[in-house]
Structure 1
Amino acid sequence: MSNRPHTAEAIWEAADLPARRLAGVALNPSAPTDVLLRLLACDSAVVRMSLCRDRDLPREVVDAVLTHPDHRTRRFLAANPHVDPAQRARLVEDPHWLVCAWLGQGPGYEHGRSELPEHTVVRMLTTYDQEHLGTLYRQVPRSARWTFPSHPEPKVRAYACNWWSELTVRERSALLADPDKEVRENAQGKGRHLDPEYVERALPDRPCHARTHLLLHGALSRRVVEQVLAAPAGREDLAMIAANPSLPLDVLALLARDPDPHVRETVASRPELTAQQRRELAEDPHPAVRTRISLHPALTEEERAAIDYQVDSDQTFGRSDIPAWLYDSAKSRRLALSSHPVLRRQAASDPALPPDLVTRLSGDPDLGVRVLLAQNHPRAPADLLLRSFLEYTGRERWRLTTRPNFPTTELAGHAEAADPMLRRLALLDPQAPAATVDRLTTDSDPDVRADAARHPRLPPRRLTELLDDGELAHQAAANPVLPPSVMHRLVAALDD
């Protein structure tokens, strides 16, 4: 078995200083194509990883990666979030299973959706082993939803069953009666949780994933409900059936007065609640229950405002994981005009929110509303983005700086701030004084030092010094003002 490191972390740890320096050159946006091609041909795993995984590539370099003899190098391109997905798709016929598996996995969730061409997805579904499809569902174009249920290839129709809840009655019926056995079995498997007798037979008697799924989504018979009420297998069982749409209304009423506040909080989300039940939950002694019922769609704004709810601002306000096409414009408008900050937060996450509501929510008194708007709307204004970064200190804060309209001028004044994130902010300013950039290469924070080493205003003398720095050589070599002559010299050292 090969002793070569395989994970990204192991590859990086195994690299020496010259290799890490060349990995920086591989990421340099000013690197000429001939330099990139020479790096691709070198024997360093960390260099090829940086080049093929962590940046966009000219077409000529992509062509060379596709025919590279090392499958580990090709696999990096298969999951590269920076290149056009159509370029990644060119690996669909790769002869090595690992490359195919990485293509099926695709870029990580943190990079958002990266949709492969529909014909590529079809090719993968019809030729790949199931274990190589990874998170392919995140790479399927939305257009496939309309074509896959009636596709001529049985494996594609079988895959369409994964969207069971979105399929029309006619599409479901056709898949249940499909001439192909695999398609029928997939369709039956997706729909069988709607059969109370099946749920009764299949429900495990111990806490596990299968029990959770059936208690939350299965059609619950009266017998199953009574079993759970009498002897729950886990502490969450009552809350799970409280969330199940098939729960009988008399049991819902019973759980609305359950001693466990988590169960009552779950009940408070149910649309079937009567006015009396809503009033009782609005006066619940537990704040989480009152807060949950304050979001109920049946309440008027006056009723909502009368509830003593609590809004938590100490949480993550980041990218929404709801696909843009699932937002309803009329609902978003209604929520944006609500007096309840949590409902306005929901509206603020809609990337298609119209300009008048963007303007309105940009000045919202709630921090969560402003930050969520800044994180998710492609036209969030510059002043909102900067204000959100200055005021919000939670997770995904730095992502705000990557939003389309984030301002980069007049930021250098933050270079003296106590908060290292603000000192990093100063380094986004392309006009930051060279002396300031130089000083920040010795900052106490490693991220600040790394950003300073990449800054185009870094004095040439200091940039040259950092190319031999054990910590910052990688970042210095990626600095866009590094002269091409220096890049060629560093690459030429590969032949020595």
Structure 2
Amino acid sequence: MPTPGQIWEAADLPERRLAGVALNPATPQDLLLRLLTDGPEAVRMVLCRDRILPDAVVEAALTHPDTRTRSFFARNPHVDPAQRARLVDDPEWFVRAHLAEAPRVPDGSRPRPLPDETAVYMLNTYENDILQGTIYQQLSAGLRRSMPTHPDPKVRALGVGMWSDLPAATRAALLADSDEEVRDRAERHARLEDPAWVERELPDRPCHARWDLLMHRALSRAVVDGVLTAPLSERERHAIAGNPSLPADVVVLLAADPDPEVREAIARRPDLAPAELRALAGDPDPAVRLAVSVHPVLSEEERARIDYQVPKNGYFPPYPEPYTPRDPEDLRRYADSGHPLLRQRAARDPSLPPDLLERLAADEDLGVRVLLAQNHPDAPAALLLRSFLDYDGGDRAHLTTRPNFPTAGLAAFADHDDPEVRALTARDPHAAPATVARLTRDPDPAVRAALARHPNLPQERLAELLDDDELAHAAAANPALDPEVMHQLVAGAGRRLDLKLD
């Protein structure tokens, strides 16, 4: 069975034009239904997977006789998840598997969650080979928070995975749960807090399981001494440096380790004694000094005395909604800090109150501004545009999906050196037709494709692009395309076009 990528690669020019019509927001409903019924697979894939759909088309997609077509709809991130959820009992394994698999979304984004009742039903009725862990990406924040105490045992069993963050009373309840699977999972997690069990089970060869135990699980003194005296690799000292169970004397020892990466890991520990804090604050390695400069016990004055530097080329992505809201006092303390990394922690919280939002939107630190723009639902338009212009990280495009990203005036960037910035012109509803037409000949293919869909594209140029092997797909998705031409495209016999557009 071909993959979606292979389906698209195999599509010829007429099929790609039809796929553009399928994506066009101005395409009449009757044509969409015709494409769904009679269109080739590449067109049905794009139609069912890559756009918002009218209700009548949704109904037709849900009952389409072709399994693959229903599976495309099952992974549509644009439709209401409750519509996708109607495929929960589809007779075909293939469709149910694609429903369980999270829809494709831009990097840094999360798919909208399925209804809670659908997710719980899937956990109870779908086989593990269908769920494959991907269902977790489609759980609502409320359901995720409730999992350890949820009335449904299948949900509680999944919630055991939050073990390290659970209070003692919740852990005890899971260990005594009436459901065997819940108890078994809880007991497995509890064993990881038993140093003797970890020592018995620790693999005697380098592997993922050994690294996990050394980094995160309760370590006996014998295991720690073995790593210090006879490690299987030099990196094992680094592995245990952040382990919460590390004895205090070993923390002291590793704080003076010759490897700066080990000292950096030690510098991040919340249990550092004052002597180690002072020593690491004056460490010769800048990464160590930076790590210790955000230690929670330091005062602002003590932080300011540390010679740290915050990198300017950091990674500032969108973050998922936290399981539990942050303490408002902690959030305000971070926002008020003179340390950019602490202000960055505040900036990525979507619950930041309006006064702190306004203040951090004008922050001198790029990371603070971009994290605020990436994560706050009320990030202002000016901040979003400034962040897009200043930041070149791989998740930059996520900024354009934020609610307040501006449109007016973006044609002013039509001659910018950065092609991603030039492409912003496609978002300006008032871009001059001549500018739009010129950018369909831009050196960058992404700019050409974006402007081929602009409704201000002159009709003569739009007609030319419908016969362009590269841009026909984008041109056919242009909402300024005449409905009569859409009908011609759908009725065409695959020939190259000679359309006269007014």
Give TM-score, length-normalised by structure 1: 0.94
Post-superposition offset of 1:151 = 5.3
Q: Secondary structure at the match of 2:240?
A: helix
Q: Flag the 1:151–1:286 CA change in 2: closer, same or farther, 3 A.
A: closer
Q: Distance in 1 between matches of 2:334 and 2:152?
A: 43
Per-residue CA shift, 1:301-354, capped at 9, x if unaligned? 111111111111112222124537443332121111111111111111111111
Specify the alignment match of 1:486 in structure 2. Answer: 485
SS across alignment from 1:57:
coil
The separation in 1 between residues aligned to 2:289 and 2:208, in whole angstroms, is 29
Residue deviations 1:113-161, cap 9 Å, x none? 4211121112111111101113111212233346554556543332232
CA–CA separation in structure 2 for the residues paired with 1:201 and 1:324: 34
Cα deviation, 1:167-202, whole Å, max 9, x if unaligned, reads 443433333233433232222122221111211111
The equivalences for 1:346-425 within 5 A come to: 346-425=345-424
Residues 324 and 351, structure 1, Cα contact 8 Å, conserved in 2: no
Deviating more after overlay: 264-273 vs 484-493: 484-493
Does 2:34 align with 1:35? no
Residue 298 of structure 1: aligned partner = 297
* Aligned AA (1:80): N
Aligned residue pair count: 492
CA distance in 1, matches of 2:462, 2:423: 18
Query: Matched residue of 1:162: which SS?
Result: helix
Structure 2 vs 1, CA of residues 305 and 409 (structure 1 numbering), >3 Å: closer, same or farther? same
For structure 1, which segment, 288-297 or 411-420, has the greater mean C-alpha deviation from structure 2 after superposition?
411-420
Instruction: In structure 2, give the amino acid aligned to 1:470.
Output: D
Partner of 2:130: 132
Query: Relative to structure 1, is the Cα distance of residues 325 and 176 closer, same or farther in structure 2, using a 3 angstrom cutoff?
Result: closer
1:78 touches 1:106 (CA, 8 Å); kept in 2?
no
Of 101-110 and 191-200, more deviation after overlay is shown by 101-110
Judged with a 3 Å threshold, the aligned counterparts in structure 2 of structure 1 residues 235 and 38 are, in CA distance, closer, same or farther, namely farther
Alignment partner of 1:416: what SS? Answer: coil
Question: Once the two structures are aligned, what percentage of the paired residues are identical?
Answer: 59
Structure 1 residue identity aligned to 2:368 = V
Which stretches in structure 1 are left out of the alignment for 5+ residues? none
CA distance in structure 2 between the partners assigned to 1:325 and 1:174 by the alignment: 20
- Say what the alpha-carbon RMSD is for the aligned residues: 1.9
Q: Which of the pair has the greater relative contact order for Cα pairs under 8 Å at 6+ separation? A: 2
The AA in structure 1 aligned to 2:93 is W
Q: State the shift of 1:209 in Å.
A: 1.8
Q: Secondary structure at the match of 1:439?
A: helix
CA contact (8 A) 2:425 2:451 kept: no
1:68 aligns with 2:64: yes
Partners of 1:204 and 1:99 in 2: CA distance: 40
Alignment partner, residue 319 of structure 2: 320
Q: 2:86 maps to which residue?
A: 90
Q: Residue 45 of structure 1 corresponds to which residue in structure 2?
A: 41
Kept in 1: contact 2:76–2:104 (CA 8 A): no
1:435-460 Cα shifts (integer Å, max 9, x gaps) = 11111111111011001100010011
Counterpart pick for 1:78 among 63, 68, 74: 74
Q: Residue type matched to 1:315 in 2?
A: G
The 3 A distance-change label for structure 1 pair 168 and 201 is: same
Q: Give the C-alpha shift of residue 208 in structure 1.
A: 1.9
Matching residue's letter, 2:100: G
> What is the CA-CA distance between 1:228 and the residue it aligns to?
1.2
Q: Distance in 2 between matches of 1:350 and 1:155?
A: 30
Match of 2:5 in 1: 9
Query: Retained in 2: the 8 A contact 1:317–1:395?
Result: no
Question: What is the TM-score of this pair, normalised by structure 2?
Answer: 0.93
Name whichever of 67-76 and 159-168 sits farther off: 159-168
Q: Mean Cα displacement is larger for which, 178-187 or 306-315?
A: 178-187
Superposition pairs for residues 51-200 of structure 1, below 5 Å? Answer: 51-108=47-104, 110=107, 111-134=109-132, 135-145=134-144, 148-149=147-148, 153-200=152-199
Corresponding position: 1:21 with 2:21:
no
**Residue 331, structure 1, aligned to residue 330, structure 2:** yes
Q: 1:105 to 1:250 in 2, by over 3 A?
A: same
* SS at 2:294 equivalent: coil
**What displacement does 1:265 show?**
0.3
* 1:421–1:149 CA distance, 2 compared to 1 (3 A): closer
**Alpha carbons 1:324, 1:350 under 8 Å: kept:** no
What are structure 2's unaligned runs of at least 5 residues? 496-502
Which moved further from structure 2: 140-149 or 475-484? 140-149
8 A contact 1:21–1:467 mirrored in 2? yes
**Higher mean C-alpha displacement, 229-238 vs 192-201:** 229-238
Counterpart of 1:441? 440
Contact 2:14 2:494 in 1 (8 A): no
User: 2: CA distance between counterparts of 1:9 and 1:427?
Assistant: 26
Listed one character per residue, the Cα deviations across residues 273-317 of structure 1 (whole Å, up to 9, x for unaligned) are 112211100110111000100111111111111111111111222
Whether contact under 8 Å (1:80, 1:106) holds in the other structure is: no
Deviation per CA, 1:464-491: give whole Å up to 9, x if none: 1111110000001111111222222222
2:442 aligned partner, one-letter code: D
* Cα deviation 1:351-394 (Å, max 9, x = unaligned): 11111111111111111111111111111111112222222223
